[in-house]
Chain A
Amino acid sequence: MKLGVYLIWAVVAVVAGVFVLLGYFTSLGIFIELRLVLLRWAVLLAAGGLGIGLVNLASVHLAKVSEQEPGWPYSGVLIVFFTFTLALGLFFGPDSPWTLFVFRYIHLPLESSLMALLAVALVVAGVRLVGRRRDLLSLVFLLTAILVLLGTGPWLVFSKSSTHVGITWVRAWVVQVAAAGGARGILLGVAIGGIVTGLRVLVAADRPYGN
């Protein structure tokens, strides 16, 4: 019985994958239409997945609150605002001024402030890198970062000095030649890795949908 169920899942995944893939390599209308239909179904399923994810989010934090696990007050705050935002969306609609107010004046500033924390985290990481990994690559990484920072904007003084002009030129070379070349190499590796990973799912060797 288990084998049968697993085979059905695998066949559905493989057939859907093959048809979607063929839709990219042909101009035949039937394959393109089929690809679009399957993609629409996938979008619908993903939306369903989001709903399940939200239920999971609420249930995990509700359990934390009810069992008073470490950090439960934060879970309580999450549950309150989760319910509040959900109620706003359900009663007034996603485009209502109230819902938009929450997103514009609470959600976005909070996410922006987390984004701002990135700069601090990066500076601290740079300092820690010196102490943690004392090798040539780390030194090159740090020196390049400092060089790029120095060459990116004008200086408070000596902005027109030959040193600044030289650093700006070196920065341009690093960014346009060395970094761009390296990034392309990394992207090629990532693209090949992504294709092979997709093929493993396509031949049902990897079955993320379980057995």
Chain B
Amino acid sequence: MVTIWMTLCVVIYLFVIGYLGFRGFKGTKSATDYMLGGRNVHPYVMAMSYGATFISTSAIIGFGGASAVFGMSLLWLPFLNIFLGIFIAFWLFGSRTRRLGLRLDAHTFPELLGRRFQSRFIQGAAALIIFLFIPMYASAVLTGAAKYLAHQFAIDYNTALFVFSVIIALYVVMGGIKGVMYTDALQATVMLAGLAVLLVLTYNRLGGVTAAHRLLTDMADKVPAALQARGHQGWTAMPKFGSPIWWVSVSTIIMGVGIGVLAQPQLAVRYMTVKSGRELNRAIPIGGIFILFTAGVAYIVGALSNVFFDQTAGNISIVAAGGDVEQIIPMYLQQATPEWFNILFMLTLMSAAMSTLSSQFHIMGTSLGRDLAEEALNGKKKKRGMLATRFGVLTGILISVYLSYIIDIKFGKTGTAIVARGTAIFFGLCAGAFLPVYIGALWSRGITRAGAIAGMLTGTVSSLFWMVFVLEKSSTALLLCEKWFGTRSLAISTVDGAEVFASAGPVIWAFVDPILISLPAAALVTVVVSLFTKKLPENHLAICMDKQP
């Protein structure tokens, strides 16, 4: 009976989304109408559509599950998401990005960087990085959604993945990829409602805010020995400083995603499509509240699920979920919340996945079409650009679905944990490759073309090198390091049959996230090379930098 209701709700919901997408397609989304014709996008719609792009199923299922394992120390991430990802991003980056985009007639993130530094190479390379690596992030989102649907409808993962992929493909065909803000805003509203209710239900069930936290604090002695040995000190305590879990929490999850959000190409383009800085100002309060109630709630509820499973099954969450991190949140919802809420939450997750995926497919299309085919390869042939754009969207969808499918087959549970890391990896890669150059583009007259190119390449190469050969979690999974050097990480050696982790003081290199290496390296190289190379023409800088607030 529940399944029938669920199916019915999903169908109705998809019709509403489809209808809104269709309405948007019929004319409300013309930029000319909007920018010049007196049309206004309500700040609620602007902020919520940004939020829907930002917060995906992997944030709720993947990171909520991670919080169930690592605990509430991960709350530093929602703080960074709100402070950096909304406040600083909209206030400092948003307005300047919008103005620069307008002055340079830039419509994509690679185009913005390329024109700012007068380099087709930068535009092409940035587009290539995005096109090659965003499927990793998209497949993390797809996997999160498919896992939840599989659990909810009691079907196998591949069927869920197939059905959801078909829904996504239909959504894209119906115009969803055009990032119709009203559709995104509706999806974000569903997410906000679903997660706000979840927070109330959870605290209520566990006896209130302080009582619930107290129960979780008192469970510290139930941390499994294996996790304790790696630095876990309880779900309401920071991991032991310098321990493996501390490095994963702080460098990969908190810093990787928290800082990486500033240089997300699919989010940066949002600033360019608003009418004025006023819209950005007005979006800040709504965005802040939205992130607090989505990311913040997922992390709090994830950690508190340990109390629930301890009370009902006598196990901590990860044990109750059979070791599968991404099953924790779906299981918790099914067992701890009423059936009507499960339906609401399913729509929440589908919303989160659809809005994030559509923006990802959007950027795959423009990267290949506009940035690579039309500009970087000096095509300027609109027809070729259009074909390439569509090809980009299509291959993007296929690659993402294939990744979600094949990794589950190849690696099973471990594999899906790796796919969930796809989000963090993509955010980290963007931070290394784009953040110093992007900041330079917005604020510095001194960063040269050569400096920007050198910085971007340094960020990308160092990030990838660290991921493939040093960071234990990814280098072990990718197997290349093992194949070439006979060790699963260059920072791990074997002495008398036992693994020795290379370290310097509290720094255990194999656990340090690439962002801590690539971001400073890229920033340094950008600045140093700029000091010794030819400056950009003064008249170009005047166009880019003048009259900026």
Tell me, yes or no, whether A binds B. no
